């Protein structure tokens, strides 16, 4: 055992030993033993501090396996964690996810302290659009409702009519009963929603001048999208799927709706991170390929040891990857990094988030 970790009090040591045994039972095929031993000690310290500080820990499905299987009170997709954030009576919410998720928790809980363990946990989708872009889209398409993916920052949500996540995007669009909607900022999610709802889509561009440009020759469209992409899911291709099917004809392929429509069409199932987890749990096939962030493949493999999870390569989200047990411990020890949303922005963003939660 490593000698570098200072000796913990007896009860903490007993908790660490118990956590180590639990992690070893689930993750012995996925994480080296010495790493599990070290991480169990960190997790035990976090659990003790979490109780002492009356905190709740929410963990997104993309968290690395040892963190995912040890410290969160709840794990889930963006929608499930938003609901948990709305329900908690704890004083502190530690969000093991990325900044837009922690901001959503703060929007729903203005009087609580919301902590994000790393300041570097962003998102390429959230970075792709500004509040000014939304104002320009509204000016160009007056009266058209704005549906905003939850993977955006609070000021963009504040300009929107309603939010959605990957698990309710179609239901949210249909709930508006509007012939045309603005759906931002994920181009691929918008194209997948267009495919499912039978709508046509156009995607305006932002010019170097900062102006939003719309193709005026386009006439037949009911979804106005945006050019945001997830830097993880845009990497998957139809050729990847064909190559895996050629080698393993019985493989069941799942794709997150942030993948391109061609990839989603070539897959057997598409859904949110939690929908994909449930699909593997409830399906009897022996072999799966999950086209999403790779840590989630490890988490599914640990929960379903009798099923084989194929890997294309290690596609990790560089933002989710910033959230470690070390950073989470420091977050609770030093109350960092505190998420703040200006009150005027929060109140307007809350309307869009609450309207989504009402849709279900
Ligand atoms: P889910 O809402 O499906 O968990 O997706 C969040 C995300 O960021 C996927 O890349
Ligand atoms: Fe954002 Fe993509 Fe990372 Fe999800 S996987 S947090 S969409 S960059």
Question: Residue 332 corresponds to which tokens in the numbers above?
Answer: 């609770």
Assigned domain for 106 exists: yes
* Closest residue by CA, ligand 2 atom 6: 123
Assigned domain for 36 exists: yes
Please indicate whether residue 166, judged by its CB atom, sits closer than 6 Å to ligand 1: yes
Assigned domain for 260 exists: yes
Q: What is the CATH number of the domain that holds 150?
A: 3.40.50.10800
Structural domain ending residue among the three candidates 187, 205, 229: 229
In angstroms, rounded to a whole number, what is the distance separating the alpha carbons of residues 57 and 52? 13
| 3-class SS of residue 233 | helix
Residues 116, 132 within the same domain: no
* Residue among 60, 151, 321 whose CB has most ligand 2 atoms within 8 A, to mutate: 151
Atom in ligand 2 nearest the alpha carbon of residue 62: 5
Assigned domain for 1 exists: no
Residues 24, 94 within the same domain: yes
The residue ranges of DSSP E strands in the chain, in sequence order, are: 55-60, 74-76, 92-96, 113-115, 146-149, 162-164, 181-184, 201-202, 205-206, 212-213, 223-224, 252-255, 269-270, 287-291, 308-310
Residues 93, 132 within the same domain: no
Assigned domain for 355 exists: no
Count: domains in the chain: 3
- Parent domain of 136: 126-229
Strand partners for 253? 289
Assigned domain for 76 exists: yes
Which pLDDT tens digits describe the chain residue by residue (360 residues)? 444 555 567 799 999 999 999 999 999 988 999 999 999 999 999 999 999 999 999 999 999 999 999 999 999 999 899 999 999 999 999 999 999 999 999 999 999 999 999 999 999 999 999 999 999 999 999 999 999 999 999 999 999 999 999 999 999 999 999 999 999 999 999 999 999 999 999 999 899 999 999 988 988 999 999 999 999 999 999 999 999 999 999 999 999 999 999 999 999 999 999 999 999 999 999 999 999 999 999 999 999 999 999 987 678 999 999 999 999 999 999 999 999 999 999 999 999 999 999 996
Residues 289, 214 within the same domain: no
CA of 232 to the centre of ligand 1 (A): 11
Please indicate whether residue 61, judged by its CB atom, sits closer than 6 Å to ligand 1: yes
First-residue to last-residue Cα distance in the chain: 48
Assigned domain for 263 exists: yes
Sequence length of the chain is: 360
User: Who lines ligand 2 at CB under 6 A?
Assistant: 98, 123-125, 151, 230-232, 258, 293, 317, 319-320
Q: What is the pTM of this model?
A: 0.94
């Amino acid at each position: 055992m490593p000698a570098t970790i200072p000796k913990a009090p007896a009860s903490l040591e007993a908790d660490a030993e118990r956590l180590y045994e639990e992690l070893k039972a689930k993750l012995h095929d996925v994480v080296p033993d010495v790493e599990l031993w070290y991480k169990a000690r960190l997790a035990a310290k976090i659990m003790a501090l979490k109780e002492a500080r009356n905190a709740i820990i929410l963990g997104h499905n993309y968290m690395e396996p040892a963190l995912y299987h040890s410290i969160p009170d709840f794990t889930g997709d963006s929608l499930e964690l938003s609901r948990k954030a709305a329900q908690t009576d704890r004083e502190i919410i530690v969000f093991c996810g990325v900044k837009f998720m922690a901001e959503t928790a703060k929007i729903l809980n203005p009087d609580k302290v919301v902590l994000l363990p790393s300041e570097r946990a962003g998102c390429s989708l959230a970075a792709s659009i500004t509040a000014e872009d939304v104002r320009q889209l509204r000016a160009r398409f007056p009266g058209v409702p704005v549906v905003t993916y939850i993977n955006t920052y609070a000021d963009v949500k504040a300009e929107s009519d309603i939010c959605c996540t990957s698990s309710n995007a179609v239901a949210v669009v249909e709930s508006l009963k509007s012939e045309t909607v603005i759906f931002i900022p994920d181009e691929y999610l918008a194209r997948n929603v267009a495919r499912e709802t039978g709508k046509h889509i156009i995607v305006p561009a932002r010019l170097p001048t900062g102006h939003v440009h719309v193709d005026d020759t386009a006439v037949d469209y009911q979804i106005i999208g945006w050019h945001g992409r997830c830097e993880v899911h845009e990497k998957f291709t139809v050729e990847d799927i064909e190559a895996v099917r050629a080698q393993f004809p019985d493989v069941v392929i799942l794709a997150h709706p942030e993948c391109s429509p061609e990839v989603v069409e070539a897959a057997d199932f598409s859904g949110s991170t939690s929908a994909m987890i449930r699909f593997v749990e409830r399906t009897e096939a022996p072999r799966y390929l999950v086209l999403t962030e790779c840590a989630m493949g490890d988490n599914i493999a640990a929960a379903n040891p009798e099923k084989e999870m194929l890997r294309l390569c290690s596609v990790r989200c560089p933002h989710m990857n910033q959230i470690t047990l070390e950073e989470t411990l420091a977050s609770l020890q030093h109350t960092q990094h505190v998420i703040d949303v200006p009150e005027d922005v929060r109140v307007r963003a809350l309307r869009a988030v609450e309207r989504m939660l009402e849709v279900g």
